[in-house]
C-alpha cells in the first residue's frame, strides 16, 4: 500500500493563494462578458473618471448593478479606482484590452469563448464517458462570435503585414491577381481582410457551418468586398478543387477529424505552383515544454472544444490544439506535400508553409 505523502503547509498555502486568484478570475470572466455586451467598457474609454451613476446613465443601465460591477472590476485591476474621489477610470492600457476592437491587445472576444465552454460542460462531460465527440455546430452561438472576435485581433495586425509576406512569392501573386481558398473560414474575418488588402485577387471562403457562412456573407457586404469574395458551405475534404494559388487554414486543421484527408484534398485543389498556409496555435513538440500560460489556455480550449470537435467526425484523429510542428508536419506529409517549413511564428501562432 502506498504511503501518504505528508502535506507541507507552505506549499498548501501557496497553492491556495493561486487558487484564490483563479477563483476570482473565473467569476469575473462573466462580468467581462456583461460589461462588453452592455457597452460599459466602451463608455469608460477615453472618458473622464466617473461614478456608477454617471456610467449607468450613459449606458442605459441601473446604477446599483453598475456600482457592484465597478467594484468587482476594480478589485480585478480591470478598471482603476480613486479612493479619494470614489471615481472609476478605464486607463488607456485597459481600454486596449476591453474596449478597442481594433487594438492589437483586444481580448473581450475571448470571454465569449469562455461562456460557450461553460455552456458545453454537460455535453463534454457525457463525451468523456461515451468517447463520442461534440461538433462545433453543437456549441452555443457565442462560441462562433467569440472565436471571430478573438482571432480577428491577430489577423488584423499580422496576417497581411507579416504572415503572408513570410510565404515564398505569395504576396506578389496576390497583388497581381490570385485565386485563394480560405477553408474553415467561420465568419470570414480572415477572408475579408485579405480581400481588402488585395483587390486584384478573388477569394473563396468555405466552412461546413451554414450559419457562419451566412454571417460571413453579411460581413463581406458590409465591408464592401462582396464583388471579389464568395462564401459557400463546404467541408475541408470536399470544397471545390479549382486550382487555387493559395489555400489557407486558420486555426482549424487540428479541429478536423481527418486532417490528413483534408491535406490530400488541398493538394488536389492547388495549382501546380500553389501554396498552402496553415496557421495553428503555437506549441512545442513535447508536453513538458507546453506547460506554460499559453499552453494552459490552449490545452483547456482543446479539451472542451477542439478535441471533441475532431472526435465527432470521421476518423477522429484528435490532434488537439497543442499538436506541435512535428505532428503537423507528419499529417501534412500524409496528404502528399513534400515541402514544408515554419514561415514565421508569434507567441500564440505557428505559421506553416506547405507545397506539393
Q: Is the pLDDT of residue 79 over 80?
A: yes
Cell of 335: 496528404
Q: Check which CATH number belongs to the domain holding 37 and give it.
A: 1.10.10.10
Same domain, 61 and 205: no
Rounded Cα distance between 65 and 3, Å, is 51
Question: If you average pLDDT over residues 77-97, what whole number do you get?
Answer: 98
Domain-located, residue 59: yes
Chain centre to alpha carbon of residue 199:
26
Domain-located, residue 290: yes
Neighbour tally for 225: CB within 10 Å: 19
Question: If you average pLDDT over residues 38-50, what whole number do you get?
Answer: 98
Cell of 198: 488585395
Rounded Cα distance between 146 and 194, Å, is 20
Same domain, 92 and 211: no
Domain-located, residue 55: yes
Same domain, 189 and 333: yes
Same domain, 188 and 330: yes
CB 294 within 8 A of CB 348: yes
User: pLDDT digit string (tens) for 315-344?
Assistant: 999 999 999 999 999 999 999 999 999 999
Domain-located, residue 165: yes
CB 227 within 8 A of CB 200: no
Question: If you average pLDDT over residues 145-167, what whole number do you get?
Answer: 96
Q: Measuring CA to CA, which residue among 288, 270, 246, 267 is closest to residue 331? A: 267
Number of H helices, E strands in the chain: 15, 9
Domain-located, residue 124: no
3 pLDDT band (50/70/90 cuts)? confident
Same domain, 81 and 162: no
Same domain, 186 and 294: yes
155 pLDDT band (50/70/90 cuts)? very high
4 pLDDT band (50/70/90 cuts)? confident
Same domain, 171 and 278: yes
- How far lies 189's CA from each of 3, 105, 153, 217, 261, in Å? 55, 17, 10, 11, 25
Question: If you average pLDDT over residues 1-19, what whole number do you get?
Answer: 90
Decide which of 56, 75, 100 is a domain's last residue.
100
Cell of 249: 487554414
Same domain, 300 and 201: yes
Q: Check which CATH number belongs to the domain holding 200 and give it.
A: 3.40.50.150
Same domain, 224 and 345: yes
Same domain, 72 and 168: no
pLDDT given for residue 1 in this prediction: 62
Rounded Cα distance between 89 and 95, Å, is 10
Rounded Cα distance between 107 and 97, Å, is 5
User: pLDDT digit string (tens) for 211-240?
Assistant: 999 999 999 999 999 999 999 999 999 999
Q: Is the pLDDT of residue 2 over 90?
A: no
User: pLDDT digit string (tens) for 161-208?
Assistant: 999 999 999 999 999 999 999 999 999 999 999 999 999 999 999 999
Computed over every residue of the chain, the mean pLDDT equals 97
Instruction: Residue count of the chain, please give it.
Output: 356
Residue 34: give the domain boundaries. 11-100
Q: How many domains does the chain have?
A: 2
Domain-located, residue 132: no
Cell of 83: 479612493
pLDDT given for residue 344 in this prediction: 98
Cell of 184: 474553415
pLDDT given for residue 164 in this prediction: 98
pLDDT given for residue 298 in this prediction: 98
Domain-located, residue 80: yes
Question: If you average pLDDT over residues 131-136, what whole number do you get?
Answer: 97
Question: If you average pLDDT over residues 276-280, what whole number do you get?
Answer: 98
Amino acid at each position: 500500500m502506498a504511503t501518504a505523502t505528508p502535506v507541507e503547509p507552505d506549499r498548501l498555502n501557496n497553492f491556495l493563494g493561486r487558487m484564490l486568484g483563479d477563483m476570482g478570475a473565473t467569476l469575473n470572466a462573466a462580468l467581462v462578458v456583461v460589461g462588453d455586451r452592455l457597452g460599459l467598457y466602451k463608455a469608460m474609454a477615453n472618458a473622464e473618471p466617473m461614478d456608477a451613476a454617471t456610467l449607468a446613465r450613459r449606458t442605459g443601465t441601473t446604477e446599483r448593478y453598475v456600482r457592484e460591477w465597478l467594484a468587482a472590476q476594480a478589485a480585478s485591476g480591470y478598471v482603476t479606482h480613486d479612493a479619494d474621489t470614489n471615481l472609476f477610470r478605464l486607463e488607456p492600457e485597459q481600454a486596449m484590452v476591453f474596449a478597442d476592437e481594433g487594438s492589437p491587445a483586444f481580448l473581450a472576444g475571448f470571454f465569449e469563448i469562455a461562456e460557450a465552454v461553460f455552456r458545453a460542460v454537460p455535453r463534454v462531460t457525457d463525451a468523456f464517458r461515451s468517447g463520442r465527440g461534440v461538433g462545433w455546430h453543437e456549441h452555443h452561438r457565442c462560441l462562433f462570435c467569440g472565436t471571430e472576435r478573438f482571432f480577428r485581433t491577430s489577423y488584423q495586425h499580422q496576417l497581411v503585414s507579416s504572415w503572408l509576406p513570410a510565404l515564398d512569392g505569395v504576396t506578389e501573386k496576390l497583388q497581381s491577381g490570385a485565386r485563394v481558398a480560405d477553408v474553415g473560414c467561420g465568419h470570414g474575418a480572415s477572408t475579408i481582410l485579405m480581400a481588402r488588402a488585395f483587390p486584384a485577387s478573388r477569394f473563396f471562403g468555405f466552412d461546413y457551418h451554414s450559419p457562419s457562412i451566412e454571417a460571413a456573407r453579411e460581413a463581406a457586404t458590409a465591408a464592401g468586398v462582396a464583388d471579389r469574395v464568395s462564401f459557400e458551405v463546404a467541408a475541408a475534404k470536399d470544397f471545390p478543387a479549382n486550382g487555387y494559388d493559395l489555400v489557407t487554414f486558420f486555426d482549424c486543421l487540428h479541429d478536423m477529424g481527418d486532417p490528413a484527408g483534408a491535406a490530400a484534398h488541398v493538394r488536389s485543389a492547388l495549382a501546380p505552383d500553389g501554396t498552402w498556409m496553415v496557421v495553428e496555435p503555437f506549441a512545442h513538440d513535447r508536453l513538458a515544454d507546453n506547460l506554460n500560460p499559453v499552453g494552459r489556455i490552449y490545452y483547456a480550449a482543446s479539451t472542451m472544444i477542439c478535441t471533441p470537435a475532431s472526435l465527432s467526425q470521421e476518423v477522429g484523429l484528435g490532434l488537439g490544439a497543442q499538436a506541435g510542428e512535428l505532428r503537423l508536419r507528419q499529417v501534412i506529409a500524409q496528404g502528399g506535400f513534400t515541402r514544408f517549413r515554419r514561415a514565421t511564428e508569434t507567441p500564440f501562432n505557428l505559421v506553416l508553409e506547405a507545397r506539393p
